[in-house]
């Protein structure tokens, strides 16, 4: 029943697109005021998408296995929370979520842009409708979430157990709000470009939407990273996996866009940057969807390996790219030439410099992600690009980037000079001495690490000082940059000072190192709702006799039959103790991985600080 309603709602939703497009075109030239009926149609379209979405959720809750999507991705023994999150834990459902966010954002946009010109609003709506129609057709034609199967199976196939995690359950909706939210920036930029509507006021108006997407995208990436750390059990939080990269690329583009819009808002410069970045942000999101969903890259996010779906997104993506290039080249009139006259030492120059750096990071990630595909197609060689590539190409360039981030915000617009040169120098010396002190015993890569830590400390101290000197006048910027310095510092210390022990232990055995000893006490078996749990008990004994108990767990899921390893992590403000246990086939010992990772929790905290800074900026009254 719920499936049936959902299925018809989708078709109704598509019909409303026709009405919206028809009335919008009529309204575009004919009258001076915005036709109220269009707003109702947008609302109805949104309503039907929501209805269809709830229909799918309801089918999942009721374990209605006559629905193919539910059959493929759910199981009666699954806890209700994961039944619901299973709705978007698959290809069809997640595309419905795409559509939900697309329609939600255009509805909110039309509601909240009453003070803008009518033509601009309608044109934005039309561009957004092109995307919406594209996704409606894609959903209904190639990946309908409401396919009916007969005879009705008794039991579903189950959700991949590694996706059954609280952080991951809310990760897709949050990430999508950011990811798909960029569509509204894309549509409105295209509209503004074709109408030559770009102005300082427009920048203020679009900045809010950029911020909303940016905040959600930041938190979404954070959640994905937290999930990888807690669930995948590799002890890392970022693996430069193609799937992570495709979420980081729009984030970088969006961050650049945010900074460009600040310049646009103040100086009416960098309009070309703004347009190109708005287009590329959404294009990168779409490209990401294509890469992970088409099966061209192999990853956890590859739900279905169906070339037909991939081809559809590919064609659609390139139509949008050609449309936007066409608009950019033929409608954009770059009538401000202030850009060329930037003084070398000014806020806008430093923003531009860092944008170039971010563009470089973005290119590195883009090449690392798509180059293997190109190579395979053109020469049928298989390569995999891993962390060393990214680390070597990105990390050294972080140094000037961090310095510019520290100095830039303290410069004035248009023309500036260094004030308090002495203070800048003193802060540099303090950072240098501090990092030398901390790293003095380090053997490997001493020089690079010292400079890196110095630059991060430099940003840290400068932003910390700014809190007091500027008296919270530009709090959001200050906090975001401070959060970033904290992030880099925690990542650096986390990398430099982490210890790892990999060993095989039988029950009752003891592993001893210089600083601690690991005692494998016992294991315990329990039957849970949809899995069997094997929990190990380990005592970690410090030199000074402190004992900490770690309980890593193995879960043997019944449906589908998969063994997952749950790390046990003891977190405090200074360090994380991380332990995983793995079965070794046909042996009576377990493979144990024990890691001490300093400042782990600060990585999460600093990213939260950064997104909180975005939130402050969003609600700031001008």
Partner 1 sequence: MRIKFIPLFFLIIFLAIFFVFYKGLQISNIYTPKDNYEKNIPSFNTKIFGTDNKINSEKIFKDEKYYLLNIWASWCVPCRDEHPFLINLSTYKNIEIIGLNYKDDNYNAQKFLKEFNSPYELILFDVDGTIAIEWGAYGVPESFLIYNNKIIKKIIGPLDKNSLDEIKRIIK
By CB under 8 A, name the binding residues for partner 1. Answer: 290, 294-298, 305, 307, 310-311, 314, 318, 321-322, 325-326, 329-330, 373-374, 376-378, 382, 585-586
Q: In angstroms, what is the minimal distance from the CB of 310 to partner 1?
A: 5
Instruction: Name the residue with tokens 């030439």.
Output: 337
Q: In angstroms, what is the minimal distance from the CB of 296 to partner 1?
A: 5
Contact 360, 237 (CB under 8 A): no
As a whole number of angstroms, the distance between CA 115 and CA 47 comes to 25
Output 203 or 370, the one with its CB closest to partner 1.
Answer: 370
Contact 71, 157 (CB under 8 A): yes
DSSP secondary structure string for all residues of 477-515: HHHHHHHHHHHHHHHHHHHHH-EEEEEEE-TT-EEE-SS
Q: In angstroms, what is the minimal distance from the CB of 379 to partner 1?
A: 12
Instruction: Name the residue with tokens 């990105």.
Output: 394
Q: Which residues pair with 565 in a beta bridge?
A: 554
Output 310 or 408, the one with its CB closest to partner 1.
Answer: 310
> Which of 171, 177, 51 minimizes the C-alpha distance to 104?
177
Output 75 or 301, the one with its CB closest to partner 1.
Answer: 301
Q: In angstroms, what is the minimal distance from the CB of 382 to partner 1?
A: 7
Task: Give 335-342 contacts, CB < 8 A, sequence gap 24+.
Answer: 336/268, 336/269, 336/271, 338/267, 338/268, 338/269, 339/269, 339/270, 339/272, 342/269
Output 321 or 609, the one with its CB closest to partner 1.
Answer: 321
Contact 307, 295 (CB under 8 A): yes
Output 329 or 447, the one with its CB closest to partner 1.
Answer: 329
Task: Give 385-390 contacts, CB < 8 A, sequence gap 24+.
Answer: 385/240, 386/240, 387/239, 387/240, 389/240, 390/240, 390/364, 390/365
> Which of 88, 65, 94 minimizes the C-alpha distance to 3?
65
Output 371 or 472, the one with its CB closest to partner 1.
Answer: 371
Output 81 or 374, the one with its CB closest to partner 1.
Answer: 374
Output 335 or 529, the one with its CB closest to partner 1.
Answer: 335
Contact 263, 283 (CB under 8 A): no
Q: In angstroms, what is the minimal distance from the CB of 366 to partner 1?
A: 11
Output 441 or 585, the one with its CB closest to partner 1.
Answer: 585
Contact 295, 305 (CB under 8 A): yes
> Which of 220, 211, 218 minimizes the C-alpha distance to 170?
220
> Which of 173, 199, 178 minimizes the C-alpha distance to 188?
199
Q: In angstroms, what is the minimal distance from the CB of 545 to partner 1?
A: 38
Q: In angstroms, what is the minimal distance from the CB of 160 to partner 1?
A: 17
Whole-number Cα distances in Å, 483 to 263, 425, 457, 461, 489: 22, 22, 12, 12, 10
Q: In angstroms, what is the minimal distance from the CB of 462 to partner 1?
A: 41
Q: In angstroms, what is the minimal distance from the CB of 256 to partner 1?
A: 20
């Amino acid at each position: 029943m719920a499936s049936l309603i959902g299925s018809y709602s989708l078709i109704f939703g598509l019909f409303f697109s026709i009405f919206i497009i028809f009335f919008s075109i009529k309204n575009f030239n004919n009258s001076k005021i915005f036709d109220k009926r269009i707003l109702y149609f947008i609302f109805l379209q949104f309503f039907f998408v929501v209805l269809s979405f709830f229909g799918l959720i309801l089918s999942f809750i009721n374990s209605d296995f006559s629905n193919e999507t539910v059959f493929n991705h759910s199981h009666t023994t699954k806890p209700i929370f994961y039944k619901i999150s299973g709705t978007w834990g698959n290809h069809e459902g997640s595309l419905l979520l795409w559509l939900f966010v697309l329609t939600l954002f255009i509805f909110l946009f039309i509601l909240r842009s009453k003070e803008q010109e009518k033509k601009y609003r309608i044109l934005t709506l039309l561009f957004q409708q092109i995307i919406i129609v594209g996704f409606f057709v894609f959903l209904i034609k190639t990946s309908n979430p409401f396919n009916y199967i007969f005879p009705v199976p008794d039991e579903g196939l189950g959700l991949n157990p590694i996706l059954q995690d609280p952080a991951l359950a809310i990760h897709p909706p949050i990430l999508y709000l950011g990811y798909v939210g960029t569509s509204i920036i894309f549509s409105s930029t295209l509209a503004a470009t074709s109408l030559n509507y770009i102005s300082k006021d427009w920048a203020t108006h679009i900045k809010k939407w950029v911020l909303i997407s940016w905040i959600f995208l930041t938190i979404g990436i954070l959640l994905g990273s937290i999930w990888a750390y807690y669930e995948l059990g590799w002890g890392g939080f970022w693996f430069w996996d193609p799937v992570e990269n495709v979420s980081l690329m729009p984030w970088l583009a969006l961050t650049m866009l945010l900074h460009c819009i600040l310049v646009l808002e103040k100086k009416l410069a960098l309009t070309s940057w703004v347009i190109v970045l708005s287009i590329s942000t959404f294009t990168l999101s779409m490209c990401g969807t294509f890469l992970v969903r088409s099966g061209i890259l192999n990853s956890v996010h590859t739900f279905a390996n169906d070339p037909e779906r991939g081809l559809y997104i590919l064609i659609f993506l390139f139509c949008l790219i050609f449309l936007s290039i066409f608009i950019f080249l033929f409608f954009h009139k770059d009538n401000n030439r202030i850009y060329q006259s930037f003084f070398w030492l000014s806020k806008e120059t430093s923003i531009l410099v860092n944008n170039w750096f971010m563009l470089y990071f973005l290119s590195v990630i883009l090449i690392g992600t798509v180059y293997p595909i190109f190579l395979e197609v053109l020469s049928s060689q298989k390569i995999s690009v891993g962390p060393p590539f990214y680390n070597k190409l990105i990390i050294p360039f972080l140094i000037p980037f961090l310095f510019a981030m520290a100095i830039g915000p303290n410069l004035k617009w248009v023309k500036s000079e260094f004030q308090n040169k002495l203070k800048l120098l003193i802060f540099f010396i303090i950072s240098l001495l501090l990092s030398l002190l901390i790293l003095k015993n380090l053997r490997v890569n001493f020089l690079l690490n010292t400079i890196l830590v110095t630059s991060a400390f430099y940003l840290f101290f400068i932003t910390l000082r700014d809190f007091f000197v500027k008296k919270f006048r530009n709090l959001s910027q200050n906090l975001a940059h401070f959060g970033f310095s904290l992030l880099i510092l925690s990542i650096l210390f986390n990398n430099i000072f982490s210890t790892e022990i990999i060993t095989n232990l039988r029950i009752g055995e003891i592993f001893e190192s210089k600083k601690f000893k690991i005692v494998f006490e016992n294991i315990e078996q329990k039957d849970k709702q949809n899995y069997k749990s094997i929990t190990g008990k380990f005592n970690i004994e410090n030199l000074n006799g402190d004992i900490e108990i770690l309980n890593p767990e193995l879960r043997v899921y019944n449906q589908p039959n998969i063994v997952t390893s749950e790390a046990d992590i003891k977190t405090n403000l200074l360090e994380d103790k991380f332990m995983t246990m793995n079965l070794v086939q046909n042996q009576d010992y377990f493979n144990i991985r024990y890691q001490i990772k300093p400042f782990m929790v600060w990585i999460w905290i600093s990213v939260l600080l950064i997104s909180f800074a975005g939130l402050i900026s969003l609600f700031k009254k001008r």
